[in-house]
Chain A
Amino acid sequence: MKKLMKFLKDYKKEAVLAPLFKLLEALFELLVPMVMAQIIDQGIANGDMGHVARMGLCLLSLALVGLVSSITAQYFAAKAAVGFSTQLRQALFDHIQGLDFTNVDKAGTSTMITRMTSDINQVQSGVNMVLRLFLRSPIIIFGAMIMAFTIDVKSALIFVAAIPLLAIVVFGIMMWTIPLYRKVQGWLDKVLGVTRENLTGVRVIRAFHKEAEEEEKFKSYTRALAASQNFVGRISAVMNPVTYIIVNGALIALIYTGALQVNVGNLTQGEVIALLNYMSQILVELVKLANLIITITKALACADRVAGVFDIQNQDTRTGIQDTSGKTADAPFLEFDHVSLTYEGAGAETLHDIHFTVEKGETVGIIGGTGSGKSSLVNLIPAFYPVTEGAIRLEGQDIRFLPEDILRRRIGVVPQKAILFKGTIRSNLQWGNPDATEEEMWHAIDIAQAREVVDGKEGKLDARIAQGGRNLSGGQRQRLTIARALVRKPEILILDDSSSALDYATDARLRTALRTLEENTTTIIVSQRASAIRHADKIIVLDDGEMVGAGTHDELLAGCGVYQEIYYSQYPDERKDIRQERGR
């Protein structure tokens, strides 16, 4: 929470004024029993109707002033809380957008979404509560005690004893139950998890006929949930009766002390009533305080989680590394210099000693088995992940020493997962290049074989795209993501298994079209289909993170075992042909 306080900075005035006006309201409220004592001791005792009326008016004006200051306080509190959360949300959003891939993997996007939404909302209501109510209750409680002292010191000592006792009970029970509530939340999460799982995996669960077992599992969780709720409930249930006993015990003591003091003439009857009133004010405020503390504890936990996201910091990938780059004329366009990659927290290397060069305008194919590191390899080029060993150089320049946005502006990536954003086809293409002309967009669409997709939509370029591109099929989405990358006329185009959702005919047309790209476009194609890369200028064959072959299709077919295996698995007929030839 401390770390988040800085977002209140711009609302300092409001954050101070809100509790101040609350203080004012509380003070007026504290005066009420005194006025009442006056009515009893002066008005009733002397039968002075005029005095009663004057004091009555005084009560009314106190109420009115209280109302005005309270509403003022509410306004400032709301303004500060909303302003706070607005700034916090923006800052968190900005922070998350700046995180590098390693951190996003570590934190997980769904967690971050919860932090941004429900957690911040909780923090907002927490701040609001603190500003307008959390100060009010202690003021009333201690104010009532101070007022009691002004009436009678001996009676006030009862307050002095009762208040700490109450505080111990209230806070003690809360301290005890808060960790238990966390356990309850844990069970609730489990219940939620099973429910989700049974929806997303309904086909598998029914295929294995596991419905009954799933119900048993669900029941065991709901039972555990109910049991833990009951347990906490039993403890929390102690709070009200015990505070009730303490306050009323104090009341009894007060009446008795009052009786003694009145008898010797130190107190009047009206003053005894005022003391009793103060005691009941304390009880009312304590109940409020207890409820508030629960809200605030929740808010604090949420604040901690939000602050946790701020704690995630990108690491400088350059620490301890010498900039070995020197822009020389004969440097290759793109160079992998003995690159190894180990993901943070992973036990083993994902890529090991990858070494190759690419010239401008070349087409490079990357092929290999599942988990062989194909995607990892291409993800290194836009510096999505830092290399652990070796270096990648673009025109001789170590990419770690290139500003990120400048590097990425030169690269067009078509990710494996075809994701589009809510908006229009045009707004999605503008992701690739905000200044693209209509002509450039259509050109990219044509190459990506997406013209029929766009033409088929009402509004063409201005056709609506739903969140995530849900209103398009997988193949349509994929073609548009290709167009999006092409719109920026990248120097390096990376296609990461980007035609998996396309049928063969479309895929083939796409590959032919890609060959018509301007000559200075370097294309890197990751694929599992040999057909997609066989015409590449250079094919890199990966196997379990190692580069087991590099060369043209013909070279590899002649000398690379892994490549042969891949190729013939897809073209079994050709193998037969070779065998037949050899047999002859």
Chain B
Amino acid sequence: MAGSQNGGKSAQIKTLKQVMEYLRRYWLLVGATLFLAAVTVILTLYIPILTGQAVDLILGKGSVDFQGVSAILIKIAAAVAVTAAAQWVMSTCNNKITYHVVKDIREDAFHKLEQLPLKYLDSHAYGDIVSRVIADVDTFSDGLLMGFTQLFTGVLTIFGTLGFMLVTNVPITIVVVCITPVSFLVARFIATKTYHMFKEQSETRGEQTSLIEEMVGNQKVVRTFSREEAVKEQFREINARLQKCSLKAIFFSSITNPATRFVNSLVYAGVGIFGAFAAIRGGISVGQLSCFLSYANQYTKPFNEISGVVTELQNALTCAARIFELIGEEAQVPDSPDARVLSKVQGNVELENVFFSYTPDKKLIEDFNLSVRPGQRVAIVGPTGCGKTTVINLLMRFYDVDSGQIRVEGTDIREIARGSLRTSYGMVLQETWLREGTIRDNIKMGKPDAAEAEVIEAAKASHAHSFIKRLPKGYDTWITEDGGSLSQGQKQLLCIARVMLCLPPMLILDEATSSIDTRTEIHIQKAFAKMMEGRTSFIVAHRLSTIREADIILVMKDGNIIEQGDHQTLLSQKGFYADLYNSQFAG
């Protein structure tokens, strides 16, 4: 986005080129549209001439050339028929181009989304990315493609009219040409004058929206503290400010229409007066004057539209630049063609001299070494915010290490196909995430072809079956993205069931049981214990009791691993771990 502003013209041209790339696939349709637009414009301009000719044959009482009039009327009818047909085909083509280009762009954007490194996604607001894929693409399609055809027909109409007018009468044409740009200038003048009003409006509106999000989104908290009145007052204040600046912005910008209409009227009056003078002197016929009058209307219309179209085009280009920026974002390093696909994973994981940090100026993991043998259980502990999830990011290769190596079965994970590496792990994250769909869909996510019995089996093993059974529609209950009415614990049970169904050879459990009550947790731990038999597991947890039996405990603080060993060793060290452990029984 910054690029399009700083780079100015050259960036816009670059964006335009990218748009052309997308249009190229539909070049036939684009060609057809342009051709039909030309046909439409020419015929539309031809009809007033024919009408004028007809008028000239209707001179007065008793002096009407009926034969001539009839012949012209047939011509008009034919022209109208062709124009109408051309219009229809043209808009059908336009629709096709627009909607398909939009579809192509969205698909490319989504494709990129699936390839983007987590580093990008973690550092960009989701809302912003979604609005690029949805809203920006829509604005782009409305503005650029529609605007483009409007611009094309507009320019064509202007030149066509000019040509026809020049052929008929030069002085009147000059009158028209001199007055028309005024409307353009007026529109420009108003647009620049109102720019800061619109800016103020959108800023105030933004302020209001965030208040709405905050206070409506957390209405329950507002009610809990009986803060309704205070909050309403806060809203009233912003609302009043918004009213003021909205009125200004809307009113001043709405002057554009009357102003340009006024200029049109001036053109019309000019044509009327000068045309009449010319007619009196015998320079043109009355029919030609009537033709001029209707041209005066048609000629100014594109000018009015063009000023709107230009802003819209610019707007569209900005949006296009935003979406192309996303599409042009660097994807993760693709798997090399000879990347290894893990076939029989035993669970050998080694980390050797691993250095990693999210930002270069804030060092995190330094020279980390760890060797995990098949079936071992590794617990990662430490106070909140100490960077436990970083280890998961590295193991799953959501992030690549800065230096050093992580090896699975002796192979550097950068040489293993990502899909193969990741599906070797069963992962339950702290942030439970479910997708919109039925409970069954969610459990089957890792294994879409699982049989019903398997699904129920997995749900039972993770103690989710009993609560699912009690839902109104059981496994067919539809849940929304945030899990809807399910409690945090229930959501987590579903996430566990999801992993339980696939049972990969290694496990990553990120505070998996932190918001499930201890009774349920006991059941789950039993299931996990069974699941973990012979499986290498990495567990992140607050509850030290749950990881006491781990083979290796990694104690993390401020992003770094400060202690490493088993429970007894660490306790006897009387270090950070010992403090942490003992505090559990305090109070």
Q: Contacts A89-B239, A259-B66; is A214 near B209 (CB within 8 Å)?
A: no
User: For the complex, what is the distance from the CA of A35 to the CA of B276, rounded to whole Å?
Assistant: 12
Shortest C-beta distance, B61 to chain A (Å), equals 4
On chain B, the residues within 8 Å of A259 by CB distance are 54, 57-58, 64, 66, 69
Residues A199 and B268 in contact, CB atoms below 8 Å apart: no
Residues A503 and B583 in contact, CB atoms below 8 Å apart: yes
User: For the complex, what is the distance from the CA of A563 to the CA of B215, rounded to whole Å?
Assistant: 39
Residues A71 and B258 in contact, CB atoms below 8 Å apart: yes
Residues B103 and A225 in contact, CB atoms below 8 Å apart: yes
Chain B, range 536-550, C-beta contacts under 8 Å to A: 542, 545
Q: Contacts A52-B273, A198-B113, A203-B429; is A240 near B91 (CB within 8 Å)?
A: yes
Chain B, range 231-273, C-beta contacts under 8 Å to A: 231-232, 235-236, 239-240, 242-243, 246-247, 250-251, 254-255, 257-259, 261-262, 265-266, 268-269, 272-273
User: For the complex, what is the distance from the CA of A508 to the CA of B490, rounded to whole Å?
Assistant: 27
Q: Contacts A32-B268, A505-B586; is A200 near B467 (CB within 8 Å)?
A: no
User: For the complex, what is the distance from the CA of A132 to the CA of B251, rounded to whole Å?
Assistant: 11
User: For the complex, what is the distance from the CA of A40 to the CA of B102, rounded to whole Å?
Assistant: 52
- B214 is contacted by which of A264, A422, A509 (Cβ under 8 Å)? A422
Residues B103 and A223 in contact, CB atoms below 8 Å apart: yes
Chain A, range 262-307, C-beta contacts under 8 Å to B: 262-265, 268-270, 272-273, 276-277, 280, 284
Which residue of chain B is the closest to A28 with respect to CB atoms? B265
Chain A, range 33-69, C-beta contacts under 8 Å to B: 35-36, 39-40, 43-44, 47-49, 52-53, 55-56, 59-60, 62-64, 66-67
Mark the stretch among A148-156, A159-167, A171-179, A250-258 that contacts chain B: A250-258
User: For the complex, what is the distance from the CA of A275 to the CA of B361, rounded to whole Å?
Assistant: 78
User: For the complex, what is the distance from the CA of A83 to the CA of B396, rounded to whole Å?
Assistant: 55
Q: Does A380 contact B (CB under 8 A)?
A: no
Residues A241 and B85 in contact, CB atoms below 8 Å apart: yes
Q: Does A196 contact B (CB under 8 A)?
A: yes
Residues A566 and B276 in contact, CB atoms below 8 Å apart: no
- B446 is contacted by which of A93, A208, A474 (Cβ under 8 Å)? A208
Residues B214 and A467 in contact, CB atoms below 8 Å apart: yes
Residues A566 and B517 in contact, CB atoms below 8 Å apart: yes
Shortest C-beta distance, B376 to chain A (Å), equals 21
User: For the complex, what is the distance from the CA of A128 to the CA of B226, rounded to whole Å?
Assistant: 36
Residues B84 and A242 in contact, CB atoms below 8 Å apart: yes
Shortest C-beta distance, B210 to chain A (Å), equals 6
Shortest C-beta distance, B187 to chain A (Å), equals 14
User: For the complex, what is the distance from the CA of A55 to the CA of B134, rounded to whole Å?
Assistant: 54
Q: Contacts A230-B96, A264-B61; is A40 near B73 (CB within 8 Å)?
A: no
On chain B, the residues within 8 Å of A500 by CB distance are 514-515
Q: Does B338 contact A (CB under 8 A)?
A: no
User: For the complex, what is the distance from the CA of A197 to the CA of B519, rounded to whole Å?
Assistant: 32
- B487 is contacted by which of A203, A211, A370, A415 (Cβ under 8 Å)? A370
Shortest C-beta distance, B2 to chain A (Å), equals 22
Residues B517 and A234 in contact, CB atoms below 8 Å apart: no
Q: Does A117 contact B (CB under 8 A)?
A: yes
What sequence of 0s and 1s flags, for each residue 99-128 of chain B, a beta carbon within 8 Å of any chain A beta carbon?
Answer: 110110011001101110010010000100
Q: Does A473 contact B (CB under 8 A)?
A: yes
Q: Contacts A74-B258, A94-B232; is A112 near B216 (CB within 8 Å)?
A: yes
Q: Does A308 contact B (CB under 8 A)?
A: no
Which residue of chain B is the closest to A41 with respect to CB atoms? B286
- A204 is contacted by which of B51, B107, B427 (Cβ under 8 Å)? B427
User: For the complex, what is the distance from the CA of A208 to the CA of B426, rounded to whole Å?
Assistant: 8
What sequence of 0s and 1s flags, for each residue 50-94 of chain B, a beta carbon within 8 Å of any chain A beta carbon?
Answer: 010011011111111010011001001100110111011001100
Q: Contacts A241-B88, A474-B384; is A370 near B516 (CB within 8 Å)?
A: yes
User: For the complex, what is the distance from the CA of A219 to the CA of B105, rounded to whole Å?
Assistant: 11
User: For the complex, what is the distance from the CA of A246 to the CA of B123, rounded to whole Å?
Assistant: 57
Q: Does B531 contact A (CB under 8 A)?
A: no
Q: Does A355 contact B (CB under 8 A)?
A: no
Residue from A67, A94, A504 whose CB has the most chain B CB atoms within 10 Å: A504
Shortest C-beta distance, B152 to chain A (Å), equals 16
Shortest C-beta distance, B194 to chain A (Å), equals 12
On chain B, the residues within 8 Å of A94 by CB distance are 228, 232
User: For the complex, what is the distance from the CA of A135 to the CA of B239, rounded to whole Å?
Assistant: 29
Which residue of chain B is the closest to A104 with respect to CB atoms? B219
Residues A63 and B487 in contact, CB atoms below 8 Å apart: no
Residues A188 and B134 in contact, CB atoms below 8 Å apart: yes
Q: Contacts A86-B242, A245-B84; is A415 near B221 (CB within 8 Å)?
A: yes
Q: Does B445 contact A (CB under 8 A)?
A: yes
- B261 is contacted by which of A66, A218, A408 (Cβ under 8 Å)? A66
User: For the complex, what is the distance from the CA of A505 to the CA of B579, rounded to whole Å?
Assistant: 9
Tell me what chain B mostly uses at the interface: helix, strand, loop, or mixed: helix
User: For the complex, what is the distance from the CA of A209 to the CA of B118, rounded to whole Å?
Assistant: 14
> What interface size band does chain B fall in?
35 or more
Q: Does A157 contact B (CB under 8 A)?
A: no
- B246 is contacted by which of A82, A467, A468, A505 (Cβ under 8 Å)? A82
Residues B223 and A273 in contact, CB atoms below 8 Å apart: no
User: For the complex, what is the distance from the CA of A475 to the CA of B383, rounded to whole Å?
Assistant: 10
Q: Does B449 contact A (CB under 8 A)?
A: no
Shortest C-beta distance, A128 to chain B (Å), equals 7
On chain B, the residues within 8 Å of A409 by CB distance are 226
- B445 is contacted by which of A60, A210, A244, A508 (Cβ under 8 Å)? A210
Chain A, range 337-384, C-beta contacts under 8 Å to B: 347-348, 368-372, 382, 384
On chain B, the residues within 8 Å of A85 by CB distance are 246
Residues B87 and A201 in contact, CB atoms below 8 Å apart: no
On chain A, the residues within 8 Å of B423 by CB distance are 207-209
Q: Does B217 contact A (CB under 8 A)?
A: yes
Residues A222 and B246 in contact, CB atoms below 8 Å apart: no
Residues B290 and A273 in contact, CB atoms below 8 Å apart: yes
On chain B, the residues within 8 Å of A62 by CB distance are 265
On chain A, the residues within 8 Å of B255 by CB distance are 71, 74
Q: Contacts A229-B99, A233-B91, A468-B214; is A384 near B514 (CB within 8 Å)?
A: no
Which residue of chain B is the closest to A36 with respect to CB atoms? B272
On chain B, the residues within 8 Å of A193 by CB distance are 436, 481
- A195 is contacted by which of B134, B228, B585 (Cβ under 8 Å)? B134
Residues A233 and B95 in contact, CB atoms below 8 Å apart: yes
Which residue of chain B is the closest to A280 with respect to CB atoms? B294
User: For the complex, what is the distance from the CA of A375 to the CA of B445, rounded to whole Å?
Assistant: 31
Residues B214 and A244 in contact, CB atoms below 8 Å apart: no
Q: Contacts A86-B240, A192-B130, A203-B118; is A219 near B517 (CB within 8 Å)?
A: no
Q: Does B343 contact A (CB under 8 A)?
A: no
Residues B103 and A104 in contact, CB atoms below 8 Å apart: no
Q: Does B587 contact A (CB under 8 A)?
A: yes
Residue from B91, B216, B269, B470 whose CB has the most chain A CB atoms within 10 Å: B216
Q: Does B479 contact A (CB under 8 A)?
A: no
Residues A195 and B110 in contact, CB atoms below 8 Å apart: yes
Shortest C-beta distance, B128 to chain A (Å), equals 10
Which residue of chain A is the closest to B80 with respect to CB atoms? A248
On chain B, the residues within 8 Å of A326 by CB distance are none
User: For the complex, what is the distance from the CA of A260 to the CA of B65, rounded to whole Å?
Assistant: 10
Q: Does A432 contact B (CB under 8 A)?
A: yes
Residues A384 and B223 in contact, CB atoms below 8 Å apart: yes
Q: Does A501 contact B (CB under 8 A)?
A: yes
Q: Does A437 contact B (CB under 8 A)?
A: no
Q: Does B222 contact A (CB under 8 A)?
A: yes
Shortest C-beta distance, A64 to chain B (Å), equals 8
Q: Does B31 contact A (CB under 8 A)?
A: no
Q: Contacts A128-B250, A269-B55; is A44 near B265 (CB within 8 Å)?
A: no
A-B contact pairs, 16 of them (CB 8 A): A59-B273, A63-B269, A74-B255, A207-B396, A219-B107, A229-B99, A230-B99, A234-B92, A260-B64, A262-B58, A272-B58, A413-B225, A431-B225, A503-B383, A503-B580, A570-B545
Task: List 7 A-B pairs, minimum CB-CB distance, nearest first.
Answer: A370-B489, A63-B265, A233-B95, A508-B587, A70-B258, A241-B84, A56-B273
**15 extra interface residue pairs, beta carbon distance < 8 Å, beyond A203-B396, A233-B95, A369-B519:** A40-B276, A63-B269, A78-B251, A86-B243, A86-B246, A93-B239, A109-B216, A192-B134, A196-B481, A206-B398, A214-B114, A229-B99, A240-B87, A347-B472, A504-B584
